[in-house]
Amino acid sequence: MLTSEDNMTSVDDKDNDKTFENEQSMVTIPLKEYDKLKEQNNYITDPSLIAVIDKIEELTRALRKHIIRKF
């Protein structure tokens, strides 16, 4: 005997299967646009990551004030 919960699960499974149907599609973009995207791989653009790096830089500057090098 199927309950309404069992029926909902099968509908959810079917919907989930449909989301993966077009996963293998290919997108075509111009070579210039591809080169720009590839170049962006060399840079950090995530604002939260940039904020973390800025904080590390600030803390490093504060620590450098306490370094005494003896040669």
pLDDT per position as a tens digit, 21-60: 656 778 888 999 999 889 888 899 999 999 999 999 999 9
Is the pLDDT reported for residue 11 higher than 80?
no
For residues 16-53, one letter each, b for 16 or more C-beta atoms within 10 angstroms of the residue's C-beta and e for the rest, the string is: eeeeeeeeeeeeeeeeeeeeeeeeeeeeeeeeeeeeee
3-class SS of residue 69: coil
Computed from CA positions of residues 58, 61, 66, 67, in that sequence, does the dihedral angle turn out positive or negative? positive
pTM of the model: 0.47
